[in-house]
Amino acid sequence: MDEPTPPRILVIEDAEAIRVPVESALAGAGFTVRSLPDGTGLEAEFARARPDLVVLDVMLPGRDGFELLRVIRRASAAGVVMLTARDGVEDRLRGLGDGADDYVVKPFVLAELVARVTAVLRRTGRTRPAVEVGGLVIDVEGGRARYGGTDVELTATEWKLLLYFARHRDRVVSKTQVLTAVWGYGELAPNLVEVNVSTLRRKLEAHGPRVLHTVRGQGYVLRGEA
């Protein structure tokens, strides 16, 4: 498979108790993540890493988030999601007026932040469509699967098989349907499906719970719960 380049995220947050979980959640969603505890070295980091999006805390030591937002906007069209402990309309209007794409108010749920980041990347054309099943993220256009934040190494045939299941997620497909879609015929060697599904399932389950299930007498289904 061709190796895609995942979107690059820069997190600027001084509180380690927030920064570390945010980094972990974004990395688990398939992004390449770097972080800074404040705005020191921001210009150099931008030149080096060229992030597609910045998660930017408002209240930072030294230069605050509003000042850093102006620096970012002079250098880049990267998406910006600001984090604030203040839910004041004036602060939000100020940030949005200076070029922020979205606001998340502390305390927040990590899944919400990941969803906001993904939405901004999608609006700015910097992310690919993905299918998510439990902790499995399938980058449809990029040709990559990640489970539990880890790349799953697949052969070309295994990728075609996983992609077929992903496009029919939550629907039971028969061995004949799989043979026809992946190998181009539906009459010969049904054990070919069994062998390849078994290998694919083993690779996936090395990183998390079972998501590719056998439905006795019917076929297979990709879903997050048995």
Tell me the pTM.
0.58
pLDDT for position 127: 63
Q: Which of 41-45, 130-134, 215-219 bottoms out in mean pLDDT, i.e. has the lowest?
A: 130-134
pLDDT for position 88: 63
At 143-179, the pLDDT tens digits run 789 898 888 999 989 998 998 898 788 889 998 888 8
In angstroms, the Cα distances linking 26 to 22, 33, 118, 185 are: 6, 7, 10, 40
Helices (H) and strands (E) in the chain, counts: 8, 11
Contact 204, 147 (CB under 8 A): yes
Per-residue pLDDT band at 141 (split at 50, 70, 90): low
At 187-206, the pLDDT tens digits run 667 688 999 999 999 999 99
At 66-93, the pLDDT tens digits run 999 999 988 788 999 999 887 666 777 7
- Interatomic CA distance for residues 21 and 50, integer angstroms: 22
The yes-or-no verdict on residue 4 having pLDDT over 60 is no
Per-residue pLDDT band at 7 (split at 50, 70, 90): confident
Residue in the block written with tokens 């993540």: 33
pLDDT for position 187: 63
Which domains are present in the chain?
Answer: 8-127 (3.40.50.2300), 131-222 (1.10.10.10)
At 83-129, the pLDDT tens digits run 988 766 677 777 777 789 999 999 999 989 988 998 898 887 766 55
